[in-house]
């Protein structure tokens, strides 16, 4: 049921303002903060309704990055809002739906996808550090948002999970 509800804590006005101003890095970091805030709400609900050990519950509550499960359970409405804002203010250059399209076009191949969006260059050992990403309008299509995935140093894997979630939300 929570799949289609917007997180009550989410406020998208700052993200909108940053995107409208073309402040791509700040918008990327704000996207990560928003998504983590929403994920924490979901985690709390999971902790309350599950039989996790105290230690596991504390660990889950303190995580400062998105997990694969967070991506798989991310509320559809929140995902749509974030994606729509990125699409609108980047003229469809950036956003999760763009990444999902490129993920499918890459044959769902991690290396090819990462090369296309500019998160990897040349070989499997040439992953681009977050600080070295291109936060300009000249960045490759689908380059952003990246911060929600980079915070765990699992950029491609979690972006694939988010692409899958977007597809699930559309069905």
pLDDT for residue 151: 63
pLDDT for residue 62: 83
We find that the CATH architecture of domain 2-170 is Orthogonal Bundle (1.10)
Task: Quickly list DSSP for 36-59.
Answer: HHHHHHHHHHHHHHS---HHHHHH
pLDDT for residue 152: 54
pLDDT for residue 149: 81
pLDDT for residue 2: 38
Q: What are phi and psi of 135, to 5 degrees?
A: -100, 40
pLDDT for residue 34: 95
CA distance 49 to 42: 11
To the question of pTM greater than 0.85 for the whole model, the response is: yes
Q: What is the per-residue pLDDT across 61-89, written as a single tens digit (0 to 9) for each?
A: 888 888 888 888 999 999 999 999 999 99
Q: Are 86 and 71 in contact (CB under 8 A)?
A: no
Q: Which two tokens stand for residue 118?
A: 């500019």
| Tens-binned pLDDT, residue by residue, of the chain (171 aa) | 333 345 556 899 999 999 999 999 999 999 999 999 999 888 888 777 877 788 888 888 888 888 888 888 999 999 999 999 999 999 999 999 999 999 999 999 888 999 999 998 877 678 888 899 999 999 999 999 998 887 655 555 677 888 889 999 987
Q: Kindly list the domain boundaries of the chain, sorted by start residue.
A: 2-170
> Which of 72, 83, 141 lies closest to 113, judged by CA?
141
């Amino acid at each position: 049921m929570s799949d289609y509800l917007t997180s009550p804590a989410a406020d998208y006005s700052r993200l909108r303002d940053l995107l409208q101003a073309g402040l791509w890095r700040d918008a990327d970091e704000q996207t990560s903060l928003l998504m983590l805030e929403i994920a924490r709400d979901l985690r709390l609900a999971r902790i309350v309704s599950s039989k996790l050990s105290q230690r596991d519950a504390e660990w889950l509550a303190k995580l400062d990055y998105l997990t694969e499960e967070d991506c798989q359970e991310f509320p559809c409405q929140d995902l749509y809002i974030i994606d729509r804002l990125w699409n609108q203010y980047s003229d469809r250059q950036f956003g999760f739906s763009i990444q999902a399209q490129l993920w499918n076009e890459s044959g769902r191949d991690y290396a090819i996808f990462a090369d296309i969006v500019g998160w990897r260059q040349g070989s499997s050992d040439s992953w681009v550090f977050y600080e070295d990403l291109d936060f300009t309008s000249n960045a490759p299509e689908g380059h952003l948002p990246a911060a929600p995935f980079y915070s765990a140093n699992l950029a491609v894997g979690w972006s694939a999970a988010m692409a899958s979630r977007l597809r699930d939300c559309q069905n």
